[in-house]
Amino acid sequence: MMTKTAWVFPGQGSQAIGMGIDLLELPEAMAKFEQAESILGWSVAEICQSQDDKVSHTLYTQPCLYVVESILADLLKATGQHPDYVAGHSLGEYSALYTSGVFSFEDGLRLIKRRAELMDSASDGMMAALLGFDRAQLEMAIEQTPDVVLANDNNAGQVVISGTPKAVEAILSQVKSKRAVRLNVSGAFHSPLMADAAAQFKTILDAVPFESAQIPVLSNVDPTPSTDPAVLKDRLNRQMTGTVRWREISLQLPQEGVDRVVEVGPGKVLTGIIKRTCPDLVLKTIGSLAELSS
């Protein structure tokens, strides 16, 4: 039986000072960094090296992660490796779509630039991560509290809620958890509070041509694999206001016969999350040149 592999791409929260800098010694990576600078008007390499953690500011985080992840995926392909499925967490879905040939590097980066600007300017909301909680209790509390939703369903014991500060605090006071962390983000991402930003984004998204995916994509709002460009665009369109259904994506992978998952991008956030849901999967991370050649 053939081994099936999925590549997964992390989103905001995986960025780190210095990420991607080792790639600068490769001419093909340098070309992408230069291309990115002409689209963004600023240097990804400079932001990633900035010691005051500029890379953690939404405006910069999203384009920087996309550029680094895209380069890593291209380098992996150049070594003859190809995934059977791709998926990305929130922002990472763009890297997954690029990797599967749905849009060009430039089109993807233009979308990300606008997405980052819109999300960065969406104020009035808050997000909080909960670890170790009673899911039935949480779901009931969310159902009974207006203006708060489950934003990221990462695994059985780790979720992120999103909504108005009042509603998020109400949930935190009602639901017992081992740990609750208020996230340092500008708005209530992946919630209906992003509707205005999503509507503005849709006009830009509609203008970008999508091709059929060469590799089936499992989307955040729908974990069923698809290669249909209209379906993939519709799912991406719903992503800004919809839940990141990562727990279901993780469960879907073994259903598709996947036994190996490679996290392409900085950090080990997704492998950590997936391990809890699917302990039998072989997990690997590729976040640097050293890991590429190992």
Q: How far apart are CA 10 and CA 151, in angstroms?
A: 16
Q: What is the pLDDT of residue 184?
A: 84
Q: Residue range 83-90: average pLDDT?
A: 98
- Would you say residue 213 has pLDDT above 90? yes
> Considering only CA atoms, which of 168, 91, 187, 165 is closest in space to residue 129?
168
Residue bearing the bigger pLDDT, 224 or 186 = 224
Q: How far apart are CA 247 and CA 154, in angstroms?
A: 5
Q: What is the pLDDT of residue 18?
A: 96
Whole-number Cα distances in Å, 33 to 4, 74, 114, 196, 201? 31, 13, 18, 31, 24
Half-sphere exposure of 61 (CA within 13 A, CB side): 21
CATH tag, 126-182: 3.30.70.250
Query: How much is the mean pLDDT over the chain?
Result: 96
Q: State the DSSP H helix or E strand holding residue 286, giving kind and residue range, or none if neither.
A: strand 282-286
Q: How far apart are CA 38 and CA 27, in angstroms?
A: 17
Q: Which residue shows structure tokens 């016969």? A: 257
- Would you say residue 199 has pLDDT above 80? yes
Per-residue confidence band for 1, with pLDDT thresholds at 50, 70 and 90: low
Q: What is the pLDDT of residue 209?
A: 97
In the structure encoding, which two tokens stand for residue 109, read together? 């980066």
Q: What is the pLDDT of residue 293?
A: 84
Q: How far apart are CA 2 and CA 8, in angstroms?
A: 19
Asked which of 32-41, 51-60, 103-112, 207-216 is least confident by mean pLDDT, the reply is: 51-60
Q: How far apart are CA 102 and CA 78, in angstroms?
A: 18
DSSP 8-state symbol, 56? G
Domain map of the chain by residue range? 4-121+191-292, 126-182
In the structure encoding, which two tokens stand for residue 44, read together? 């990804």
Residue type, 127: M
Whole-number Cα distances in Å, 147 to 52, 138, 197? 34, 14, 17
- Would you say residue 3 has pLDDT above 90? no
Q: Residue range 41-70: average pLDDT?
A: 96
Q: Residue range 79-97: average pLDDT?
A: 97
Q: Which residue shows structure tokens 């500060």? A: 165
Most confident of 51-60, 144-153, 178-187: 144-153
Q: What is the pLDDT of residue 125?
A: 93
Q: What is the pLDDT of residue 124?
A: 81
Residue bearing the bigger pLDDT, 124 or 47 = 47
Q: What is the pLDDT of residue 52?
A: 93
Per-residue confidence band for 86, with pLDDT thresholds at 50, 70 and 90: very high
Which residues are catalytically annotated? 90, 190
Q: How far apart are CA 70 and CA 32, in angstroms?
A: 9
Q: How far apart are CA 229 and CA 212, in angstroms?
A: 5
pLDDT tens digits, residue range 99-132?
999 999 999 999 999 999 999 998 789 999 999 9
The CATH fold of domain 4-121+191-292: Malonyl-Coenzyme A Acyl Carrier Protein; domain 2 (3.40.366)
DSSP 8-state symbol, 118? H
